[in-house]
Amino acid sequence: MRELANGAPAVKARQEIEDHLRAVVRAYDGETPLTIGLVAVDDRCVGGSAKEWFFRTGDDQYRIRCHLHVTAWFGADPARIADVLDAVFTTGDRAASAGAPAASVPFGHNDYRDRLVDYYRDHGANPTGPDTPEPAQISDTSQTLSWDTVRSSVRTPVEEPEACVDDGPPVTRCLREPASTTVAEVRARHGMVFRLDLANAEYYKVLKSEGPVRTG
């Protein structure tokens, strides 16, 4: 498995997907009021399991599968959360009108998001309904953007990343950039935290039926 994970096809695919996901993070940092504070990269290649007889997950069909997940934490001013969200949605509108480039913000204005902004401006009710928790997340198939609650009596903060416990490139990589920064420090610096989760991307796989693979 290590040979496959270190082979030229896997290395090329890994670099391409990581470059793409980091470009998405840069789009939020550069095109919205959010300020990047911390980035986590979790990369893992796993070998296929033995023949599955009872619980069929499909893992036994593969010699190797590799996935990469990128999460980013941004700081923002809680007093401006309505303006921040509105600006994020405006950035999404621009991306959509430009043909939605791949490394972009996918969240544009719609009825729910307009009501979400109005809620944070105290111009409207909770868009999820009366007596419901403060909304603190939007998502689509590729991204989830969540944030610290700021209006609830009991605050729910965005969580810290899990600690790196397994880092053995090229089979596993666990990066925290900057390594010494915590989400709590980002919150203390800016007032609140937004978290961007980019979909777990499968970037390389080899079926057992494909036989030996020559690398390098």
pLDDT at residue 214 in the model: 42
Query: What pLDDT digit, counting tens, does each position of 94-112 carry?
Result: 999 988 776 789 999 999 9
Query: What pLDDT digit, counting tens, does each position of 155-196 carry?
Result: 999 999 999 988 888 899 999 999 999 999 999 999 999 999
- pLDDT tier for residue 52 given thresholds of 50, 70 and 90: very low
Query: What pLDDT digit, counting tens, does each position of 116-145 carry?
Result: 999 999 999 999 999 899 999 999 999 999
143-147's contacts with Cβ under 8 Å and 24+ in sequence apart are 143/24, 143/106, 143/107, 143/196, 143/197, 143/198, 143/199, 144/196, 144/197, 145/88, 145/107, 145/194, 145/195, 145/196, 145/197, 146/194, 146/195, 146/197, 147/76, 147/81, 147/192, 147/193, 147/194, 147/195
pTM of the model: 0.89
Chain position carrying tokens 């991204």:
143
Mean pLDDT of the chain: 89
pLDDT at residue 187 in the model: 98
Whole-number percent of the chain with pLDDT over 70 = 90
At residue 146, the 3 state secondary structure works out as strand
